[in-house]
Amino acid sequence: MQIEKTFIEGCFVLKPRIFKDERGSFFESFNANTFKEITGLQTDFVQDNQSISSKGILRGLHFQKGEYAQAKLVRVTKGSVLDVAVDLRQDSPTLGKHFAIELNDQNNYQLFVPRGFAHGFVVLSDEAIFNYKCDNYYNKEAESGIIYNDPELSIDWKIKTSEIKVSEKDSELRFYKDLA
């Protein structure tokens, strides 16, 4: 497995070594020892989640506040998404910046999103199965988010605005500048 730093400290792209033969393919999707050796981070994932969405569905930008903050390891097992992580760490030199990457069932890349980030994705294929591991349990009272089309963040979602579909709840999220 190859693990690459992004321009945002603590955010990593995991690229598996894929073995293919006449039977199909195999790859190791995560190895805690390798992850810790390369990143210096110890992770203890406690919750796995999966969503199935159709083209244009945008989920995000979500985060958990305070003691319920979550680090996530995200991947796509079917289809393709544009995955986005926004740095919300007050002491970070990349505060308010975002990292975006296409995750799909062909490249099998994963993105490690540390605590202190808002996270979201939009489905680029007809359908996508999105999986993610979290290092902390979900808490409804701690959930928050930023509106996906915040002009200050200026995220290019790589899809026409007219094709984007968000939940009613996500359409009412706040602007980045209004986070307290």
Choose the catalytic residue: 62, 98, 119, 148. Answer: 62
* Catalytic residue status for 138: no
Does the annotation count 132 as an active-site position?
yes
Asked if residues 112 and 103 have their Cβ atoms less than 8 Å apart, the reply is: no
Per DSSP, which regions of the chain are E strands?
2-5, 12-15, 19-21, 24-26, 47-54, 58-64, 72-78, 80-87, 98-104, 110-113, 117-123, 127-134, 143-145
Instruction: Count the residues in the chain.
Output: 180
Q: Is 177 exposed, middle or buried (0-12, 13-18, 19+ CB in 10 A)?
A: exposed
The residue annotated as part of the active site, out of 98, 109, 119, 132, is 132
Active site amino acids: 62, 132
